Structure formats: structure tokens, C-alpha cells
Chain A
Amino acid sequence: MVDTSGSRTNPLAQGQGMTRRQAWGIVVLVVAAVFIWMVFTQWPDWLNAILISKKAFLSAILNGLTLAGLYFLVASGFTLVFGLMRNVNLAHGSLYLLGAYIGYEFAEWTGYWLIGVAAGFLVLAVVGLVMQILVFRRLEGDDLRQTLVTIGISVVAADLMLAYWGGTTYQILTPGWLSGAIKLPVVTAVRSNGTEVFLVYPFYRLIVLLSAIVIGIGLWLLINRTRIGAMIRAGVDDRDMLAASGVNVHFVFAIVFALGAGLAGLAGVVGGSALSVAPGEDVRYLLASLVVVIVGGMGSITGAAIGALIIGLAEQIGLVYFPTYGVVLTFVIMVVTLAIRPQGIMGRSQ
């Protein structure tokens, strides 16, 4: 009668038309092709009129990518913590800020930026461990209470940091070999005498993007290719089953929280070197992490990457092309995502 065996899953054979995945694939290819054309050719005048200039456009894209890298670093810890422990840690921004301050102190004290970065990671990992043991273990299962406690912690932490480091803005100085601008092999304009003008871009930001990619891949490998990662993924799916199968769930929780907090601290130092360190950054990066993780999906590293890309690009493109309302765009994206697909792009429905 009706052949339901293979032809349904092989639409090409049936001539039925495309699957959703194939349609998305074609869209991505087209967009990529257009983008590559835009990058490497010289722009006609009408394009320059709409998009200000090739330099502005490419800079916005690159800035969006590098900002996405920074957001990914901050948000990856957040998404792990929520995915596993169902705990929305609203003190995550405070962890970022504390990491930045600690990194600054160590970098000043020793004179090496890398030591500052390492210090930011390690100290915050310990802080995360302490928070997990003292606070979250006692409040397990009560989402609202955990949220409220972390809000309280963030208020107190912000005020204490203000008391100790004051309201001054600190600049974490990047070492000489990381600063300055480099020329990228992309032509942005041709001068009237025929010489080409190449795109000049801050080197440090590319390093941020690179390190975000490296750490992202590392995290993905950790979650998907190691035993601990398997336990974490199992915990995301079904915490009780994981405990029942004999795994020391508290130990796993502690590792995850320490890792998440350490990543936030690392992001604090890295981000603080590009954009300075001042009170108020904690709220800003908390909101950014929230949006990234909501859009990307709780508990998913890939989701955090995708969310960070969307939000980073939206923010920078908004800043250049819609400076007045661009800043609202990020939150509108979050509201729309929560209203339509609350689990996010890569999240699994509850």
C-alpha cells in the first residue's frame, strides 16, 4: 500500500522537496557566499551608502565576533551551572567582577599579565567551590530560594568590592606583545593614487576570540568525550538517576561550579583588559550571560556559543547602525525567545 519504509526519510528520492535541515543548510551557504563576496571585493557606492563603509561593517562584524567570544567565556560557566544544578546563579556577574579585580591585583603585583589571568581563574574557582559547599548544597531543590540567595550575595558582594577597590576604574594592562593593531588581508578602500588600504584591527581582540574558541573546544571535548563529561551530561538529564548509579553527585556538582566560577573569573581578567574594570560591570555581564544562555539554551555549550554569537553580533551591529535603540535589541531577542521557545535554540524542552 503506502511505502513508509525509506522514501519518507529520503525525500530526494521521492522528489518531495527539502527537509528543514536541508533548507537551513542552503540558507547558511547563501549567507556565507554573500558574506565572503562582501569581504573580498570592493564595494559599489550604493552599498557604501547603506552600510556606512566597508571598514565600519567589517569592524562591526569582527567586534561582534570578538565580543561573542568574551560573552561565551562568561556564559559557558553559567550555562553549565544551570544545566546541571538547576541553579540560576545571579551572583555570576559578581564572580566576573571579582575575577577582574583579582587579576588586576596580581598583574600589578607580579608585572605579568598571564599570572593575572591564571590568578583570576584559580581564585574564583576556589570561591565557587566555597559557594557550592556553604550555600547551594543547603538549598538544593528550591529554585526560588537559590535565586534569591544569589541576588542577596551579589548585592553584598558588589558593595564590599566597592568598599575595597573604590569607584575608580582600573585598566588591566595587556603585555606589549598582545597590544597594538595588525593589518588584516582585507582591502577596505582604494586611495585615489591607487594604493590599497587594508583593514587594521586590534590584535588583542583577535586573541580573545581565539582563546574563546580554544576554551570552547576544550569544554566541548570535556563534556562530550570524557567520563566526567558523561556524568555531567547524565546529571543534566536526570540528576536522581545519576545519584542512584553510584556517582558522587556532590563531587560532580562541586567540580562544575568551580569550573563555571573559574571561567567567569578568567573572562573577567580577559574582558577587563579590553574594556576596563569598574563597579557596574557585574550587572552588565550578568544580564549578558542571562540573555546568551536563554537564547542559546540552558546546559548546552554549543547553545552558549550560538547564543553568544547572536547577541554579540546584534549588540555591535546595533551600536553602529542603530545606535539609539540597538541596546534594547538584545533584551527584545531574549523576550521573544522566552515567549516562543523558552528552552532556547539548543535546549531541550522540559
Chain B
Amino acid sequence: MNINRRTLLALALATGMSAPAFAVAQAESIKIGLLATFEGAFTVLGEDSERGALTAVDEFGGKVAGNDIEIVKGSSDASPDSAVRAARKLVEQDGVKVLIGPLSGDEGIAVKDYAKTQPDVTFLNGSSAAQDTTLRDPAENFFRFSTDGAQWMAGLGDYAFNEKGYQKVATVAEDYSFPYTQVFGFMAEFCKAGGTVPSKSWVPIGNKDYSSVIAAIPDDVDAIYVALGGADAVNFLSQYNDAGGQAPLIGGSITVDQTVLTAKGRMRDVLIGTPAAGPTADTNDAEAWTEFSAAYKKQDGAFPSPSLFAHAYYINMKAALLALDEVGGDLSDGGKKFREALSNLEFETPTGKVSLDENRNAIADMFLTEVSEADDGTLVNKLIKVTPQVNQTLGIPKDEFLALGAVSRENPSCP
């Protein structure tokens, strides 16, 4: 009989689709998935997140409840699609029962939604800080032991108006949900204190040329609030310096992060003296922080001080390991006992006590900082003030807070 082309094609397809299903490893190790941005513009941040997570693993000596900890990495590029793809691979192909991540705001919302389709897997946040991940429509199996972008801004609006005397501030931020959250957090306090924000510039994602945006900012503002991260922040600061910008800056949490402070360029003059707020402060001399900082520095390629991404991943990983310890590493009931343990978990972190609210979002201390030069010439965020135990609704009653509406380009507004 003649075997024709189609037959062989059919056989080829058959071989392809029936490649043997991989059996899930049956060792006594516990597989924990680690999802961060290891591709794209946020790669540096992803690498630091990994260092933070590994610091927590090292603290437990690589074992929890007698089992080895096996970290399986998943990579995304800060887009929600890639985060869900990576999460799906970790959960459905590699069979992790605990997943820590993602890094970026919109990724968090997407992964939370995916979590709803996988009720037997427990998801902990990495550092994603969009508000809606836990505030609206939360998932029962998504836990965030780090705080969101609005919480990070606690204390900054007040400081800018009252201490620094800025009355009119223009904002420059990227056009997606995490910067919306940060601007929201800043303006909540600043507008309430009496300040006005006459101009808000939302820069399209991926744009690197800020000179026109800088030129369009009105001349009569007292300061410019900048909520950009990573490479974008470096670009903005260089271009602001080159354009001879005069107005002082106020930083969002990731604008004055270590990834930006250690970048090369002529931005030092522009940066020094910039106030900002966030979940960490480099010059924090609390013992817990210095210990954590020292442990972090043992990792390969560590920065002089842990970034907030390393810090967030550390806290979330530590929470997972503490809860695993409590249930003796037993995830056989679909993780129910594990999640029970997580919901009730309260522990001391390098930055103070952390506990969860009813949406499984963290309540933690926030730090107001200012960029200054350390003795060795590097730039650090000097601690000015600690705002204790900030919750997701920023101290406002929950229904009032929800009534303020979801964050967007126009909300909030106080021209």
C-alpha cells in the first residue's frame, strides 16, 4: 500500500502531541513558585526580588518543616498576559502548590483573577501594588503581606504641604494602574491639607522621551511629583537635568528606589533632597532592618541596600514559610489549613509588625524619606518619619473609601 504524505504528517502530529506527560516530582521537597519580571524593562527589579525571596529561604536554612524548599522560577515582562502565562506554567505544568508573585501592579490583578480558577493553589503577592488586587473583588486564595501603592504614600502629602511648603504640585506619571494608585495616595493627603494639583501628565507606557512633557509643565508650580520607575525614572531625571529644570521634585516610591539611585548619570543634583515615601528606608537603624540588610547583601549582585521589591518578596516568602512551618508542610487538603494559618498570621518584619485585614491585604508601617548623600558618596533614602500601621483604606472608613471610586486618570482631581 502506498503510504502518502498525509499519513506521515498525521504520524508526525501524533508524535508531537503525545510527548509523555511529565510526572510531578515525588521527592519530599516542597515546590514554591517564584514569579517575577525577569524579562523586559523591569528585569533589574525582578532580579532583586529574587534576592529578597532567597534571603527568606536562607533564613530558614533551605528547609521548612523537615522538607527541602524547591524554588521554581517563572518569568514575565510586566504585562498581565505574560504574568498569567507564567503562573499557568508554574501551576499546571510544574505543579507548584504555593506561588509567590508577581512584581508589577497590573500583573497582580491578572494573577488574582487566575487564582480564582485554581482554588487548591495558594497565591501570595510578590511586590505588586495596585489597589484593586485586594480592595475590589478579592480572591480567597490570594494573600498580600506587602502593601499597596496608596499605602506607600502615607505621610508624603502632608509633609509636602506642611513641612516643605509646596502649595501647587504638578504630577508626571506613567499611564497605568500602579501610578494611578500612587498619585491617588499622594493627592488624598495633599489635597486634603489644602494643596492643589493644576496639571497631571500621564505619559504613555514605553515612552522614553520626556522633554516635551517637562516643557509643558506650568512654570508656576512649586514642585513636581514624579511616579516613574526603573529606566523611565533615570531617563526623566537626566532629561530634567539637561533641560535645566528648576522646580524641586517629589518622588513616588519606585522613583527613588535603589535601582535608580545607583544608576549612572548626571542626576545627582536633581535627586538630592527629594522627599518620598514607601515601605522601606535605607538608613533605618532598627536592628531588624540592619540584620535583614546584612543577610540580603550576601546574595549575588546585591545593591548597597535592599530595594522595596526585595523587601516585599522577602516578607511574602517569609509569611509563606512561617505558615508552612505551622501546618507542618501539609498541603494535601488543597491548602485549606495553610490558608487558614496565613489569614491569622502576624509577625515582625525588618520594617515592623505586619498583619492582614479582611481582604487579606497587609497592615504595616510606612516610611517617609528624603534622598541624601551617605558618607561613602552613594545616595540613600534617609528616614524622616514612620507612619505606623497604615491599612488599605488609609484610615478612612471602608465604605467612604470605596465611594471615592476606582483610581483612574481623572480620579482624584483637585485643580
Contact of B234 among A169, A173, A179, A203 (CB under 8 A): A169
Q: How far is the CA of A325 from the CA of B39 in the complex (A)?
A: 27
Taken together as a complex, chains A and B put the C-alpha atoms of A168 and B239 apart, in Å, by: 18
Cβ of A80 under 8 Å from chain B: no
* Stretch in contact with the other chain, from A5-13, A23-31, A125-133, A275-283: A275-283
Interface size classification for chain A: 35 or more
| Interface contact A166-B266, CB-CB below 8 Å | no
> A152 at the A/B interface (Cβ < 8 Å)?
no
Is A319 part of the contact surface with B, judged by Cβ < 8 Å? yes
When the two chains form their complex, are residues A60 and B215 in contact, meaning their CB atoms are under 8 A apart? yes
- A313 and B10 alpha carbons, distance in the complex (Å): 55
User: Is B114 in contact with chain A by the CB < 8 A criterion?
Assistant: no
Known contacts A52-B216, A173-B264; A319 and B234 CB within 8 A of each other: no
Whether a CB of chain A sits under 8 angstroms from the CB of B40 is yes
How large, as a class, is the contact surface on chain B? 35 or more
Q: How far is the CB of A227 from chain B (nearest CB, A)?
A: 40
By a CB distance below 8 angstroms, the chain A residues around B214 are 59
State which of A56, A200, A327 has its C-beta within 8 Å of the C-beta of B216.
Answer: A56
- Provide the bound-state CA to CA distance between A327 and B42, in Å: 22
Given contacts A171-B238, A323-B203, whether A202 and B41 have CB atoms under 8 Å apart is no
The residue in chain A whose Cβ has the minimal distance to the Cβ of B242 is A202
B180 CB to nearest A CB, Å = 14
Interface centre among A167, A276, A320 (most CB of B within 10 A): A167
From A166, A169, A327, B207 is in contact (CB under 8 Å) with A327
Residues of B143-197 contacting chain A, CB below 8 A: 175
Known contacts A55-B215, A67-B209, A278-B41; is-contact A323 B264 (Cβ 8 Å): no
CB < 8 Å neighbour of A169 from B39, B41, B204, B266? B41
B233 to chain A, nearest CB (A): 10
- Whether B213 pairs with A320 at a CB distance below 8 angstroms is yes
Residues of A within 8 A of B20 (CB): none
- A218 located at the interface, meaning its Cβ lies under 8 Å from any Cβ of chain B in the complex: no
B230 beta carbon closer than 8 Å to chain A: yes
Contact B209 A323 (CB under 8 A): no
Chain B residue numbers with a CB within 8 Å of A67 are: 209
B interface footprint on A204-221 (CB within 8 Å = 1, 0 otherwise) = 110000000000000000
Q: Does A111 contact B (CB under 8 A)?
A: no
Q: How far is the CA of A67 from the CA of B210 in the complex (A)?
A: 12
6 more CB-based (< 8 A) A-B contacts, given A167-B40, A327-B204: A53-B219, A56-B212, A58-B215, A167-B38, A280-B206, A319-B207
Binding site for A on B (CB under 8 A): 38-44, 46, 175, 201-204, 206-209, 211-216, 218-219, 230-231, 234-235, 238-239, 242-244, 263-266, 409
Q: List 21 A-B contacts (CB under 8 A).
A: A52-B216, A59-B216, A166-B43, A167-B40, A167-B44, A169-B231, A173-B266, A181-B243, A189-B219, A276-B208, A276-B234, A279-B41, A280-B40, A316-B212, A319-B203, A320-B213, A323-B175, A323-B202, A323-B203, A324-B175, A324-B202
